[in-house]
Structure 1
Amino acid sequence: MAPRRQGATGEREPEDARGCCVPGECLRPRESVRIEDAVRVLCNNDTCSSGRYMHRECFEQWEAGVLAYLKSCGRARSWSERQRHQNLWTKKGYDLAFKACGCRCGRGHLKKDLDWAPPGAVVRAEEEKKRRRRARSGRTPAVADGRTRAFSLSSSGSCSPPSAPSEPSASPTHAPAHGVTPAKRNSKPEIVSDRVRAGAGANGIFSRRLDFSTFNLLPKHKVNSYQIKIEDEGNHGNDETRLFILSTLAGQHKPRVSCALCKETLHVFDRYPLVDGTFFLSPLQHTSSAVEVKVEGRTQYLTCVCMGCLERCDPERTIRCRFCGQKWDGSSLVLGTMYSYDIFMATPCCAERLKCNSCYKPLLHPQQRLNYSDYSHPLTCPHCRVLDTHFVKPIAYCFTKRAFPVYQQWP
């Protein structure tokens, strides 16, 4: 008979009828946490009533997010992956990573209980050792792995897709991802296999994408893996761009972001595509919701633009240059990922956009063009000698939502 515990109503509940206390979204919300297959955590808030147990899968995903945050912290940057994993729940690592371990109660931080082991864990460990010894001695015949290998689908992050893909691209709303074969001929195709992404989530505060219906807003020819980022580029889910975004937002406790143009609130997802839009880095803080980060010693701001504004889905979302009236178009950008430069300033349309921020004299000839990312780099004005990111200007200074007059500022 299972041991019982005191419930909130005073009744005694079976030990295995516990709810998962993972911060954020539970992977198995309809299943109670069974003690035999659980991970126990402790909250430093003595009055916490959020629970002490997580499904093992939920804990592993949440732990992966904490490890991603630890990777960006102080001396842990120089640690290997193995060292970070070994040190995480000890004082050496936890003192650096505790900010990413916020509890559901909102008043404490969680830590894995290293002194607790689920009932039967020792017995199972001994059985596993015996099984491995038998396998090494050749007593157990080898079993072929029949699982389908899922290849990574990734986009380069540039504005132009590859000109000659080796195989046709797959639609993330109507077909399985490239290299992923459905288990049955008549079963519903999966976009990216969960087996590939197992354990690749970030801190549990982020949403899990249930379907890709939001991308039906796009024209059919753009619903493919080159226009929508749907898979990690790193091995075993260790995509540096994704980990950078999720660890940055986890550190700020921001599971949602706002569009820099329309201010619409967007959920951040734990896997690609990370958002129904795209992120970018800018040396200028365009909105108060942009998150300050350090990239290669430079201060940058992580900013987001929603898919509707990128695609200019309706006239209200269209912005145009205040000086020449040309419309800004972000429809060529890959969705769900991040650009390392300011996407609004990467394609200056007129001479006014090429002037020094200090003396207002032109820095380039009107016909001269740089690479997209170069417009976000600092340079010294040849006239006043001021060092600045001169080509990066406030959105309200460069663009307006009104058609006429074009010189009127942002509403």
Structure 2
Amino acid sequence: MAPRRQGATGEREAEDARGCCVPGECLRPREPVRIEDAVRVLCNNDTCAAGRYMHRECFEQWEGGVLAYLKSCGRARSWSERQRHQNLWTKKGYDLAFKACGCRCGRGHLKKDLDWAPPGAAIRAEEEKKRRRRTRSGRTPAAAPDGRSRAFSLSSSGSCSPPSAPSEPSTSPTHAPPHAVTPAKKISKPEIISDRIRYNKKPVKCEFDFRSEGSVLRAGAGANGIFSRRLDFSTFNLLPKHKVNSYQIKIEDEGNHGNDDTRLFILSTLAGQHKPRVSCALCKETLHVFDRYPLVDGTFFLSPRQHDSGAVEVKVEGRTQYLTCVCMGCLERCDPDRTIRCRFCGQKWDGSSLVLGTMYSYDIFMATPCCSERLKCNNCYKALLIPHQRLNYSDYSHPVTCPHCRVQDTHFVKPLTYCFTKRVFPLYQQWP
């Protein structure tokens, strides 16, 4: 009887492993899950029929989204990346992150089974140890010092950790990318734009995948799979050819293993609000948020003022900010209806030089005031700066104290309806 029970259990396990149980869309939907290369998870819903196994790639993508959520939770904010990885599936971390671990069944939460090992794992581990011993025993005595010498020269000439972000430049935002953007590095083929952009600086032709037209593929890498997976870059064909490059479009993470703070901040913030889509602050067009750079077909920015009802309130360094988005069409002024101009001097606002797909840490609308009316106190309406005095573009988003009425406020950040109009004439006319 015992052998038959064991065989029945094996049959149930094999049946359960045929389909990947990752929340969201499977990365390998046509391939059954092989037990030997799977990750087992447990659902706390006793009647769950969604399955217990994931493709290893699917699990790693999904786990990345859970880690992004954990980073925004309570005491985990002060943990290092390594601590979050170590604590995630223990009680210490899982009690904070379980809300991001919803199961497909809709009634439970998933957790990695730490006590389970794929069949044959112990044998493979022992074989790997033997192989390493044979490799070490086959080295010549002279080889080790040479290896140490090379390792020392590498470690002394550079570091494996990513470079720290450069200090914020003092030039206009229309002439410089945000602090999150650094010179491009080589990326893997799945995360294209083509290498031709980076090395030859030739515009890439984005081939459209007709199979994906009008559809959005869900992926597990963005906080429990609520964000879209970008299937092609055809939307960027809207740009002039000389702008389709990795300097104008944010393509890559800055951190190790894709753990970019800006990307994780945006995804965890929107995941906490269950917002896989955002709207443009100007034209109200709905935009999908993607799980990898470029995060949106436009750009995000932080403002101390809520320009749009869809902007998400966040706390940054103790200050209330609003995560806001502007679409690529409005930044590029693709048609006259998308052009806005100052109500007081008539100058057009231009966002065409801003980097797409990332986030600016200041209000991009108020960073380049065009006339003296934009430089007045929000309380007493007197000038805060002397004529022709200008600040660093990010400083316009910071609180200042009016020298006349002594009121402290973000005086340079004003409502869009106060500063801009979509009509050419007459000026001094209210939005839109």
- Corresponding residue number in structure 2 for 1:169: 170
Number of aligned positions between the proteins? 411
Q: CA deviation at 1:8?
A: 18
Q: What are structure 1's unaligned runs of at least 5 residues?
A: none
CA contact (8 A) 1:25 1:208 kept: no
Of 266-275 and 336-345, deviating more is 266-275
- Corresponding residue number in structure 2 for 1:23: 23
Query: In 1, distance between residues paired with 2:246 and 2:19?
Result: 37
Q: CA deviation at 1:336?
A: 0.8
CA displacement, residues 331-370 of structure 1 (integer Å, 9 cap, x when unaligned) = 0100111100000111111222111111222212342211
- The change in CA–CA distance for 1:188 and 1:41 in structure 2 (over 3 A counts) is closer
Query: In 1, distance between residues paired with 2:76 and 2:6?
Result: 41
Q: CA deviation at 1:170?
A: 24
SS at match of 1:396: helix
CA displacement, residues 10-67 of structure 1 (integer Å, 9 cap, x when unaligned) = 9999526532222233221222222222112233344544333211111112112222
- The change in CA–CA distance for 1:110 and 1:382 in structure 2 (over 3 A counts) is same
CA contact (8 A) 1:154 1:233 kept: no
Query: In 1, distance between residues paired with 2:83 and 2:188?
Result: 42
- The change in CA–CA distance for 1:343 and 1:86 in structure 2 (over 3 A counts) is same
CA contact (8 A) 1:151 1:178 kept: no
- The change in CA–CA distance for 1:192 and 1:181 in structure 2 (over 3 A counts) is farther
Is 1:192 matched with 2:193? Answer: yes
CA contact (8 A) 1:171 1:224 kept: no
SS at match of 1:231: coil
SS at match of 1:65: helix
Of 1-10 and 355-364, deviating more is 1-10
CA contact (8 A) 1:192 1:231 kept: no
Query: In 2, distance between residues paired with 1:14 and 1:346?
Result: 59
- The change in CA–CA distance for 1:42 and 1:322 in structure 2 (over 3 A counts) is farther
- The change in CA–CA distance for 1:184 and 1:80 in structure 2 (over 3 A counts) is closer
Is 1:142 matched with 2:142? Answer: yes
CA contact (8 A) 2:50 2:104 kept: yes
CA contact (8 A) 2:226 2:276 kept: yes
TM, length-normalised to structure 1? 0.80
Query: In 1, distance between residues paired with 2:142 and 2:220?
Result: 26
Of 319-328 and 302-311, deviating more is 319-328
Q: CA deviation at 1:78?
A: 2.7
CA contact (8 A) 2:220 2:226 kept: no
CA displacement, residues 213-250 of structure 1 (integer Å, 9 cap, x when unaligned) = 11110001111111111112223322221222122222
TM, length-normalised to structure 2? 0.76
CA contact (8 A) 1:61 1:203 kept: no
- Corresponding residue number in structure 2 for 1:370: 391
Query: In 1, distance between residues paired with 2:262 and 2:39?
Result: 29
- The change in CA–CA distance for 1:188 and 1:67 in structure 2 (over 3 A counts) is closer
Query: In 2, distance between residues paired with 1:191 and 1:147?
Result: 36
Of 108-117 and 350-359, deviating more is 108-117
- Corresponding residue number in structure 2 for 1:330: 351
Q: CA deviation at 1:114?
A: 1.9
Q: CA deviation at 1:176?
A: 21
CA contact (8 A) 1:153 1:225 kept: no
- The change in CA–CA distance for 1:181 and 1:317 in structure 2 (over 3 A counts) is closer
Between the aligned residues of both structures, percent identity stands at: 92
Pairwise CA RMSD of aligned residues? 7.7
Q: What are structure 2's unaligned runs of at least 5 residues?
A: 198-217
Query: In 2, distance between residues paired with 1:403 and 1:159?
Result: 54
Query: In 2, distance between residues paired with 1:300 and 1:215?
Result: 29
Of 30-39 and 224-233, deviating more is 30-39
